Structure 1
């Protein structure tokens, strides 16, 4: 019994250390950028040793990947929470679009996911992360709309990729001061344009 709780305690400590590293790295990557952040700053901010950092992550890039994965996961959760199964397919896509734009307003998120992410991890790795999270939600919504015959039947992967690019561009434009309402209206028109007459 004591061994089991000691093991659980060690696992809890390990998870807490990993979470502290990710949180400290996220804060620094947003404040300074990936390139300007050193691992000594990260371990100091997390209150751990360099050994602890390298126990959990092979290098700074791997830690950055974990930060990006966590951010992408958070965005997907917000999209999925805004588009419950009770909504019809079109309304779920619109609600998911609105949730995406709202989620991307979290401080530093556009920089992490849309600027530094592709630059640091590469386009292929960012696509893989997106496909596990936000793009997966979008693809599922599009496929549901196509199955419900409320949207034209189109190749799901290509439709997902092109709409996701439009959402990302809108998030960047809004971050730069563009009208959120204008971009929302255009994204809604794009979705409605794919809908059957």
Structure 2
């Protein structure tokens, strides 16, 4: 009867070590950049052995990928909380967009997802990560607006890509010090222009 408890304990330890590595790496990647962060620094910050790092991740890039994926999950979760299925299509897109801007204000997130992510992992891999998270939520919102008749039926892929790019550019500008309210209003106007109604 002792064995299942031990297995669960080992699994919990494994998950804790993985979480600690991701948290330590995130802190260092955002403070110093991916290029300037070494694996010995990550190991020391996480309080684990080098062997533990390589047990969980093939290399530094694999750990970075896990950090980026986790950040993208957090952004998508905030968007989904702000824009539940019960909201009308236009309001859901606006609320989701505002949640994205708010989520991207978390220190270091813009750097991870919009600057270092594409540089380290490549555009194709970042697009795949986005497609599982933030872009997935945007695509669903745009599809809902088209089905609901408040947005003209155009290529779903094209509209999603263009609106996503607008939000990413806004996040980069805000991170560089541009006024949040200016971009929030502009993005709301963009969504309103795309969703004039039936």
TM-score of the two chains, using structure 2 as the length reference: 0.98
Conservation of the 8 A alpha-carbon contact between 1:149 and 1:196: no
Q: CA deviation at 1:186?
A: 1.2
Identify the residue that residue 62 of structure 1 maps to in structure 2. 62
Identify the residue that residue 73 of structure 2 maps to in structure 1. 73
Identify the residue that residue 96 of structure 2 maps to in structure 1. 96
Q: CA deviation at 1:104?
A: 0.2
Q: CA deviation at 1:182?
A: 1.0
Conservation of the 8 A alpha-carbon contact between 1:146 and 1:153: yes
Distance 2:59 2:152 in 1: 45
Identify the residue that residue 125 of structure 2 maps to in structure 1. 125
How many residues in Structure 1 have an aligned counterpart in Structure 2?
197
**Gapped regions of structure 1 (runs ≥ 5):** none
Indicate the SS of the match to 2:84. coil
List structure 1 segments (4+ residues) > 2 angstroms apart after TM superposition.
none
Q: CA deviation at 1:196?
A: 3.4
Distance 1:50 1:84 in 2: 43
- Aligned pairs for 1:86-165 within 5 A: 86-165=86-165
Q: CA deviation at 1:125?
A: 0.4
- Aligned pairs for 1:32-71 within 5 A: 32-71=32-71
Indicate the SS of the match to 1:154. coil
**Gapped regions of structure 2 (runs ≥ 5):** none
Distance 1:42 1:196 in 2: 50
Identify the residue that residue 178 of structure 1 maps to in structure 2. 178
Give the superposed CA RMSD. 0.7
